Amino acid sequence: MAKPFDVSKFRKDITKSIDGLSIGFHDPTDWISTGSYALNYLISGDFHKGVPMGKVTVFAGESGAGKSYFASGNIIKAAQDQGIFVVVVDSENALDESWLQALGVDTDESKLLKLSMSMIDDVAKTISVFMADYKAMAEEERPKVLFVLDSLGMMMTPTDVDQFNKGDMKGDMGRKPKALTALVRNTVNMIGSYNVGMVCTNHTYASQDMFDPDDKISGGQGFIYASSIVIAMRKLKLKEDLDGNKTTTVNGIRAACKVMKTRYAKPFEGVQVKIPYETGMDPYSGLLDLFEAKGLLTKQGNRLKYTTTAGVEMLEFRKGWTGDKLEAIMQDISAQDGLSIDEVIEETVNEVIDPETGEVLEENNE
């Protein structure tokens, strides 16, 4: 008779022989909101969960598309609200303290450490040293830490600096993509089993491929494969006043966000989030379009109708679908035992519900 396999002994032996080995599953336990309920849902399948700890998330887009607004503003504020310490690496020398404070970020040294560095090698060394010290801590003493890199595209290699000092402006287009890939890949492996996360921004450039017109992310494809979540962003003009009336002047931007890579929801879905210059972003922005695209809100005359899972109808003009009413839809969906929007639609399509009691009367199989 074969001797039973001793899993505990095997686990103990390989843990001793391989330094830093992580055993078992490490699903994210902490999520940080992006400040947009619609974008949160497209990333994670949950209105209140944005980017996960233990992963690397990249916001990529053209200049002025709102990357820093999300990464260095909303996400840092949400992280601090959850007691997460933030380390910001500013490679663009563009993050002013007054700008961060205007977005609600606490710049006190006890909650935020800002590092100005532009060399990829220096950033890699910083993360490596930090993780070595972090692993040496007792488990109960380890804090939750979020690294924010703004941005990957502005980082340099030693070759870049050496050529500049010599007056040679050819640039280092060979080593940089490999260095960025190595940075992200190694970071993913180092932070995966700990409450340490990373959010990066990067630049995009216009595609020259007529068969693939989407903007391309600079730095090569390697680090995109290594990243856990990738959100592509485009800048559109916001020509509306605070009441939603069309104007001829530009009053802000519309950040067109498309989730290109995620393991927690369907990829390649997008939403437009409005960011007015005067008031900043409304967290409910984009939800109305998302619900309408999913078929939860249907047109009835010149109004939009939503039928709750209890059979209660909500009917409002488009401008009437504001925070409280959109919140009611989110709560109605979230109450369905974690079902996604698509699953809620599928469930309700096949049911006939008594509007008074909320009970299912019969199945509608047509």
Structure confidence by residue, pLDDT tens digits, 49-105: 999 999 999 999 988 899 999 999 999 999 999 999 999 999 988 899 999 999 999
| Pair 354, 311: CB distance under 8 Å | yes
Most confident of 94-103, 158-167, 239-248: 94-103
- 22 vs 287, higher pLDDT: 287
**How many angstroms separate the CA atoms of 352 and 336, rounded?**
16
Q: According to the model, what pLDDT value does residue 355 have?
A: 47
Whether the predicted pLDDT of 224 surpasses 90 = no
* Overall average pLDDT of the 231-260 stretch: 92
pLDDT of residue 20: 60
Cα 59 from Cα 70, distance rounded (Å): 8
* pLDDT of res. 46: 94
Alpha helices for 63-157 (secondary structure H):
67-68, 75-81, 97-102, 120-136
Give the pair of three-digit tokens for residue 304. Answer: 């939009």
pLDDT above 90 coverage of the chain, percent: 57
pLDDT of residue 162: 82
Contact between 216 and 72 (Cβ < 8 Å):
no
Residue 366 has what pLDDT? 40
- What is the token pair recorded at 104? 């609600």
Q: How confident is the model at residue 206 (pLDDT cuts 50, 70, 90)?
A: confident
Q: Give the pLDDT mean for 10-33.
A: 74
Under 8 Å between Cβ of 79 and 146: yes
pLDDT of residue 242: 82
Residue with tokens 């310490």: 85
Q: pTM of the prediction?
A: 0.86
Between 173 and 287, the more confident residue is 287
Q: What is the pLDDT of residues 249-295, one digit of tens each?
A: 999 999 999 999 999 999 999 999 999 998 999 999 999 999 999 89
Range with lowest mean pLDDT among 62-71, 107-116, 156-165, 325-334: 156-165
Bridge pairing between strands 145-150 and 298-300 = unpaired
Strand locations in the chain (E): 31-32, 51-52, 56-61, 85-90, 112-115, 145-150, 196-205, 216-217, 229-238, 252-261, 269-276, 298-300, 303-307, 313-316, 351-353, 360-363
Give residue-wise pLDDT tens across range 331-355: 998 887 667 777 766 665 544 445 4
pLDDT number for residue 358? 47
Choice between 204 and 340, residue whose per-residue pLDDT is larger: 204
Residue 364: predicted pLDDT? 46
